[in-house]
Structure 1
Amino acid sequence: MLDRRLCCTLLIMLSSVSAAVGTIDKGKDCAGSDVRDLTTTCSGEFSISYVTTPSHEVAEKLATSLVEARLAACINIIPKVTSIYRWQGKINKDSEALMMIKSPTKSVRDLTEFVKANHPYEVCEVISLPIETGNKEYLQFLHDATVGNKH
């Protein structure tokens, strides 16, 4: 059973979090400044996808092909991440490269199929999350580089 003091402390903490979330939801940062002039809400129009590869070279080849096909606007490659996972009943530890792929959400299905068709792994990681807000000029770049006529 929870101590009464602990319960009161938890309630106070939850109230503080709720108040902070209310402030953020209104487009204000923690200091109360308006953040809308720096960012824009894109409601998931763009996504970021994570793909791991066995090497930097494989990641570069995939990245170049995805950008050429306009399935992605920009891909960051982070070399030498360590992945620990269970595969075929064994715990494995491998050095991999991590791709961070920015693309239109409507392209994620085609992007996933492209990666699956060109990736050396039997089961490759493709995990995508919607981008809710970001630098409006960068989000415009994502649009122009994939569905627009610029860049």
Structure 2
Amino acid sequence: MSSEDPKYQLQNSSLHSAVYVTTPNEEVAKKIAHGLVKEKLAACVSIIPKITSIYEWNNEINEDSEALLMIKTRTSKVDDLIPYVKANHPYTVCEVISVPIMKGSKDYLDWIDKIVPEK
């Protein structure tokens, strides 16, 4: 497996982002994920079920079972993605954290570009 082989080529890119969103359950996660893909705000949403979140809310330490969305998209779409998530999320304050994809498979990043149109 050579890094010179185009099949394994990495691409430097901050043009793409991974966005993380926690949801109260898989039903809400699937609803948001389907909407993001349908609206072309994301190329792919992976749902990671049954995570445990421990956090402070209203001066109390809470522990909840949640599902995590890992959303792959263009960085230019994040500003549209955030209000979509907030409008379709049951939490008063929902987690929406975007991190740039600094390197990735060129084929995969090209696929994101094909699925998610430029803003």
Do the structures match in fold with TM over 0.5?
A: yes
TM-score (norm 1): 0.73
Is 2:104 the counterpart of 1:134? Answer: yes
In 1, Cα distance between the equivalents of 2:42 and 2:110? 13
Residues 1:46 and 2:22 aligned together: no
Q: CA deviation at 1:35?
A: 2.9
Which has the larger displacement, 39-48 or 127-136? 39-48
Q: Which residue of the other structure, out of 35, 38, 42, is the alignment partner of 2:3?
A: 35
> What is the correspondence of 1:99-110 to structure 2 with a 5 Å cutoff?
99-110=69-80
Q: Please identify runs of 4+ aligned residues in structure 1 that moved more than 4 A.
A: none
Distance in 1 (CA, whole Å) between partners of 2:85 and 2:109 is 23
Q: Higher helix fraction: Structure 1 or Structure 2?
A: 1
Larger strand proportion of the pair:
2
**1:74-98 per-position Cα deviation (integer Å, ceiling 9, x unaligned):** 0000010000000010000000000
- Output the TM-score relative to the length of structure 2: 0.91
Count of equivalent residues = 116
Q: Which has the higher contact order (CA 8 A, sep 6+)?
A: 2
For the aligned residues, what is the CA RMSD?
A: 1.5
| 2:58 is the alignment partner of 1:88 | yes
| Identity within the alignment, % | 53
Larger Rg: 1
Cα 1:88–1:34, aligned 2, differ >3 Å: closer, same or farther?
A: same
How far apart in 2 are the matches of 1:107 and 1:115?
12
Does the CA contact (< 8 Å) of 1:80 and 1:97 recur in 2?
A: yes
For 1:91 and 1:117, how far apart are their aligned partners in 2?
A: 26
- Structure 1: gaps of 5 or more residues: 1-32
Give the distance between the partners of 2:51 and 2:67, measured in 1 at CA: 6
Structure 1 contact 39–133 (Cα < 8 Å) conserved: no
In structure 2, C-alpha distance between the alignment counterparts of 1:89 and 1:140, rounded to whole Å:
45
